[in-house]
């Protein structure tokens, strides 16, 4: 066969392949369209009866006559859509329908399916209409399941059920070896809200305070802080002062700050003396959240801590306390610790306070005097780069005053 014959064969093969691809593409699209039309026809037939059931609460024979596969495939999907939105009597009505039609029993049986997507789909449905009796089977699935996607769906379903048993199961899963599972469970406990507080506090009632840093306890404390659970203050104080794990103490201190009760200030001040800098850093953070001005002297002392994070959190805490905290930072600028001065200046600049002071330089009275005093402290501390940048943006009077201050600094430097 000559070269011309080979070319003709190649062209014929390519043409045949292209034709097959076109036919396959058209066929797939046609099948998808037929499937969509088939699904739509079933939904159109079932949906009116479901809506009538929700409105009247009366049994609908058309729904009861549906084959079980149509109930599972079509009816359950329509019910899940509505259960995500309904509350009160309408929700109770749909859950009763799921029970009467056997949807709950069939979903429970599918939790043991070999196919992970069947297990995930069944777990999702049970989260909407499984009710209290689905909590234990879902908990067993969560404990035995290896697939992270199925575990995530199961944890979310337990949170939707929200019964005390479901919450206890989730709280008990915070110590799971899988970090991804632990984080997802913590997220769902956050979603549950106040009902999760009791089981979380119970999980901390007898923690290992001497050794180790159990992941479950750390996450339980974090969730309690996110929920601002005042009921947990006693156990949080105990963990903050006596736990052996560094993460436990630091997270307990942060949680107390998020709760925001001024009665916990003595505990936070004691934690500010801790030998581990992460605990001191979180103590400064927590004091700033509570905002008790009586703690300003201690926060000023922490500005000279040897660890950068402690200095940063202390400066943020002071600036959050308004004028009194700003005065403390001005005093830090005049102190002898260069690291504390730099941190104070950086915090004041980042929060826009230095800009506000420069715009008040020409003002009369208390605010003008305070602004000039503060800017002078910045100049004396040698942190003037930001001031030089601001000078170009100020009105004429304020720019003249600021440039005069900066000129004196340059003369002194010479």
Alpha helices in 197-276 (DSSP H): 197-203, 215-226, 233-242, 246-259, 265-271
CA angle 308, 314, 315 (to 5 degrees): 90
Q: Last residue of a domain, which of 163, 180, 203?
A: 163
pLDDT the model gives residue 3: 67
Number of separate domains in the chain: 2
Give buried/exposed letters for 138-161 (b at 16+ CB in 10 A, else e). bbebbeebeeeebbbbbbbbbbbb
Q: Last residue of a domain, which of 146, 163, 180?
A: 163
156 in any annotated domain: yes
CA distances from 292 to 70, 240, 263, 278, 350 (A): 62, 19, 10, 21, 23
317 in any annotated domain: no
392 in any annotated domain: yes
Hey, what long-range contacts does 342-350 have (CB within 8 A, 24 or more apart)?
342/383, 343/303, 343/308, 343/311, 343/312, 343/315, 344/303, 344/315, 345/378, 345/381, 345/383, 345/386, 346/315, 347/312, 347/315, 347/316, 347/318, 347/319, 348/319, 348/378, 349/386
Rounded Cα gap, residues 69 and 91, in angstroms? 23
Rounded Cα gap, residues 244 and 210, in angstroms? 4
> Tokens 């400064």 sit at which residue?
284
CB–CB of 225/255 below 8 Å? yes
- In Å, how far from its chain's centre is CA 20? 50
340 in any annotated domain: no
**In tens digits, what is the pLDDT along the chain, a chain of 414 residues?**
566 677 777 888 888 888 889 888 888 888 888 887 877 887 888 889 899 888 888 888 888 888 988 888 889 999 999 998 888 888 889 999 999 999 999 999 999 999 999 999 999 999 999 999 999 999 999 999 999 999 999 999 999 999 999 999 999 898 888 888 899 999 999 999 999 999 999 888 754 544 444 778 899 999 999 999 999 999 999 999 888 788 899 999 999 999 999 999 999 999 999 999 999 999 999 999 999 999 999 999 999 999 999 999 999 999 999 999 999 999 999 998 999 999 999 999 999 999 999 999 999 888 899 999 999 999 988 888 999 999 889 999 999 999 988 887 665 544
159 in any annotated domain: yes
87 in any annotated domain: yes
For the stretch 187-207, pLDDT in tens is: 999 999 999 999 999 888 754
356 in any annotated domain: yes
For residue 411, the enclosing domain spans 352-414
CA angle 198, 204, 207 (to 5 degrees): 160
Contacts of 354 (CB under 8 A, 6+ apart): 345, 348, 374, 375, 378, 386, 387, 390
Structure tokens at 411: 């003369």
311 in any annotated domain: no
pLDDT the model gives residue 330: 94
pTM score of the predicted model:
0.81
Q: Last residue of a domain, which of 163, 188, 206?
A: 163
CA angle 138, 141, 142 (to 5 degrees): 85
């Amino acid at each position: 066969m000559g070269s011309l014959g080979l070319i003709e064969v190649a062209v014929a093969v390519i043409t045949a392949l292209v034709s097959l691809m076109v036919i396959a593409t058209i066929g797939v699209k046609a099948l998808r369209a037929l499937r969509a039309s088939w699904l739509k026809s079933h939904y159109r037939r079932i949906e009116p009866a479901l809506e009538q059931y929700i409105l009247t609460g009366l049994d609908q024979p058309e729904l009861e006559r549906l084959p079980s596969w149509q109930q599972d495939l079509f009816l359950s999907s329509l019910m899940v859509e509505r259960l995500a939105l309904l509350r009160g009597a309408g929700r109770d009505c749909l859950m009763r329908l799921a029970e009467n039609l056997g949807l709950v029993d069939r979903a429970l049986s599918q939790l043991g399916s070999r196919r992970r997507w069947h297990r995930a789909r069944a777990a999702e449905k049970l989260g909407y209409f499984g009710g209290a009796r689905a909590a234990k089977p879902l908990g067993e699935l969560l404990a035995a399941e290896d697939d992270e996607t199925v575990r995530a769906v199961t944890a979310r379903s337990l949170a939707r059920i929200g019964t005390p048993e479901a919450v206890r199961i989730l709280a008990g899963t915070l110590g799971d070896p899988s970090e991804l599972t632990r984080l997802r469970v913590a997220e769902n406990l956050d979603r549950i809200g106040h009902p999760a507080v009791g089981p979380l506090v119970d999980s901390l009632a007898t923690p290992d305070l001497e050794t180790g840093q159990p992941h479950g306890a750390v996450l339980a404390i974090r969730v309690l802080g996110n929920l601002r659970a005042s009921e947990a203050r006693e156990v949080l104080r105990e963990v903050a002062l006596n736990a052996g794990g560094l993460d436990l103490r630091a997270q307990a201190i942060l949680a107390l700050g998020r709760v925001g009760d001024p009665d916990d200030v003595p505990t936070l001040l004691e934690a500010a003396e801790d030998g581990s800098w992460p605990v001191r850093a979180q103590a400064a953070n927590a004091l700033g959240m509570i905002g008790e001005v009586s703690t300003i002297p201690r926060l000023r002392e922490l500005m000279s801590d040897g660890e950068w994070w402690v200095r940063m959190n202390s400066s943020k805490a002071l600036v959050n306390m308004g004028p009194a905290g700003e005065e403390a930072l001005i005093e830090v600028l005049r102190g002898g610790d260069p690291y504390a001065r730099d941190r104070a200046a950086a915090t004041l600049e980042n929060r826009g306070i230095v800009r506000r002071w420069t715009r008040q330089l020409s003002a009369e009275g208390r605010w003008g005097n305070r602004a000039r005093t503060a800017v002078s402290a910045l100049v004396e501390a040698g942190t003037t780069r930001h001031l030089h940048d601001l000078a170009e943006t100020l009105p004429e009077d304020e720019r003249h005053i600021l440039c005069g201050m900066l000129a004196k600094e340059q003369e002194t430097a010479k």
